[in-house]
Amino acid sequence: MTQLVTRVDERLVAEVDELIAAGVVSSRSEAVRVGLSDLVDRHRRAATARRIADAYRRLPQTPDELTDIDDATSRMLDEERW
């Protein structure tokens, strides 16, 4: 496993230590791993969302497709046990 070295301000260290005390993470290292993983995941999801939105802008849904979606949603709601 590769080691990363960084500096953070005391306020952030104190907040991470509070997360450790609360049992959210087991260590400062785990907090950094979780934070970096979340950052990468958030970036990946945002890039995917941009690609999807761009595709819909290039090829918008037709009125018939939108009607089909509305009909499917209505059927799904009708099947719901309220």
pLDDT tens for residues 19-33?
999 999 999 999 999
Longest CA–CA span in the chain (Å) reads 58
pLDDT at 36: 97
Instruction: Let me know if 2 is exposed, middle or buried by CB neighbors in 10 A (0-12, 13-18, 19+).
Output: exposed
pLDDT value for 34 = 98
pTM confidence score: 0.70
**pLDDT for the residue numbered 71:** 87
In this prediction, the residues of the chain whose per-residue pLDDT falls under 50 are none
What pLDDT shows up at residue 66?
85
Query: Nearest Cα to 73, choosing from 49, 57, 65?
Result: 65
